[in-house]
Amino acid sequence: MKKIFTKKVIIPVMLGVVFLTTSAFKNDFFEIAKQIEIFTTLFKELNMNYVDETNPGALMDTAIKSMLADLDPYTNFMNEQDVEAARINNTGDYTGIGARIKTMEDKLVVIEPYKDYPADQAGLKPGDEIIKIGNTVVANYKDHAGDLLKGTSDSSVEVTYLRQGKTHTATIKRAEVDIKAVPHFSMVNDKTGYIVLTRFNNKAYVETNYALRDLKAQGATKIILDLRGNPGGLLNEAIKIVNLFVPKGQLVVTTKSKVKKYNRSYITQNQPIDTEIPLVVLIDGASASASEIVSGALQDLDRAVIVGARSFGKGLVQRPKQLTYGTQVKITISRYYTPSGRCIQSLDYWNRNEKGEAVRVKQENYHEFKTKNGRKVFDGGGVLPDVALGATKNPTITKAIQDNDLIFNYAVDYYYNHKIEDINSFTLTDKDFSNFKSYLKTNDFSFETETEKALKKAFETSKKEALNDNIKKEYDDLINQLNISKNTVIDENKTYLLELLTEDIVKCYVYREGLYNYYKVHDTEIKKASEILSNSSSYQSYLR
């Protein structure tokens, strides 16, 4: 009897322990199951009983996007086309015509043909508007028209396109396209090598490794690594690239998550190529994610001087999870921290303002950290360069100009109206900038600021309250002053806008490859990097 009594006591106690350790999970599981059941029932009833015909796929797409919008912009649902685009981004390989294409409602616009690939060989140029692919009119095609340009290697596709208002046709033979992570490397001078790394796909380390070895063989005793405009990519590639310049066994980045298995410290695994070669890393506001891991780690370890503008500030790590029917969800699983312990995430998606917008971490809320040599570095606002350079820019107006394709379209028009003998001596003048401003007016460029929206909303409210007659003149004066101010802002951003124009114009003439050679002659950041590397004591002073 005693034994039996003991068993009866022990078993309930053990069950109690199991219940206590899993109760949180069970509570979450019940809540998730409950909400799924509610949603499933609602979705079924809505589609069965709504007064008009519904599109279940469109409704579900809206529901998913609305749900994810409350999180961060990197947690995304990926349909089959998105999954394929992510694969291409990670591998750099696909079969097609070899061009960067922008999809619009009634046409596909060639933004950049890749040199010596099929589109280029067929004579396509930036600005060409593809209106028909085979027998399919782009304007009538309901799915993603760009997919029609893809196909098996050596197959042909005929395209009809507009160039400067005239219709042309071309037959393009598709081929394997290899998008390089390192599209350019060369010597800036007899001692300084220059490597451009534009993406962290699964070839980034191999191509950067090759470029570094090749430049050293050419006599490079100093290196400039250009990460400007690099949006990031694969975490492991970033770690291996840092490892090219730092010893085996060095901490590069730490990830922290609510899920234990995602908490990791990433240590360099290989023997480096060169731990002593002087190194400058170039960054800008479009350098993000893996670019910030590389630049942040090399800064924290006092292994490189960082030159340029503050980076984007993405301190979050994503992982794709397989769903059904070939879809995926890419989920933010953790934050990452550089060797000094800082997270450079600049936008707070979890404590939004009253409008529901993510807020930028304020500078007074930055935390101070120390590099290996004891230099001060800060979290919360991207990677701050050791040497800050870069043209002034107003994100609102420059983004509006770019979003309306006015930089690109002006560059294309310039290409067809100007003959340039020596592209490396090309520079835009004050007259060119005046012409560009006139071009903006001719093309009815306008954008509405948040200030204008607030004023218009207030004026509409005044109408309802019958107060508008009293304030109409003042309102009109304010709107006029805002328009004058917007024109002033364009002038204030002259240097930056000229840089954007120059880049697109040069690419029209000599492709992206020629642009990098142009940079070596004219680029302010490359000149500064070369100057820092030319003086050993100056270089070391930044790292002390």
Written as tens digits, the pLDDT of the chain (544 aa) is 444 434 444 434 444 444 444 444 456 788 899 999 999 999 999 999 999 999 998 899 899 989 998 899 999 999 888 888 888 888 888 899 999 999 998 999 999 999 999 999 999 999 999 999 999 999 999 888 998 999 999 999 999 999 999 999 999 999 999 999 999 999 999 999 999 999 999 999 999 999 999 999 999 999 999 999 999 999 999 999 999 999 999 999 999 999 999 999 999 999 999 999 999 999 999 999 999 999 999 999 999 999 999 999 999 999 999 999 899 999 999 999 999 999 999 998 888 887 778 888 888 889 999 999 999 999 988 999 999 997 667 678 888 999 999 999 999 999 999 999 999 999 999 999 999 999 999 998 877 777 778 888 887 888 877 777 778 888 888 888 887 787 888 999 999 999 999 999 999 999 999 999 999 999 999 999 999 999 999 999 999 8
Give the relative orientation of helices 494-522 and 395-403 as an angle to the nearest 10 degrees: 80
Kindly list the distances between the CA atom of residue 469 and the CA atoms of 353, 359, 451, in Å, as whole numbers in the listed order: 34, 37, 21
Catalytic residues: 289, 300, 314
Tokens of 328: 């995926």
Q: Which residues of 157-166 are buried (b: 16+ CB within 10 A; e: fewer)?
A: bebbbebeee
Res 450: pLDDT = 75
How confident is the model at residue 92, as a pLDDT? 80
**Degrees, nearest 5: CA angle 83-87-90:** 135
In whole angstroms, what is the distance from residue 202 CA to residue 236 CA? Answer: 9
**pLDDT score at 70:** 87
Contact present, 111 and 118 (Cβ < 8 Å): no
Q: Is there a common fold for 93-178 and 184-388? A: no
d(C-alpha 301, C-alpha 376), whole Å: 12
Place of tokens 């490597």: 195
Quick one: tokens of 335?
Answer: 């934050």
Fold of the 93-178 domain: Pdz3 Domain (2.30.42)
User: CA-to-CA distance for 520 and 9, rounded, in angstroms?
Assistant: 80
CA distance 410 to 295: 34
Can you spell out the DSSP letters for 141-158? Answer: --S-GGGGG--STT-EEE
Domain chopping of the chain, boundaries: 29-70, 93-178, 184-388, 395-524
pTM here? Answer: 0.87
> Is residue 385 within 8 Å of 298, Cβ to Cβ?
no
Q: Where are the beta strands (DSSP E) in 316-467?
A: 316-322, 328-337, 347-348, 359-360, 368-370, 376-378, 387-388
| Fold type of domain 184-388 | 2-enoyl-CoA Hydratase; Chain A, domain 1 (3.90.226)
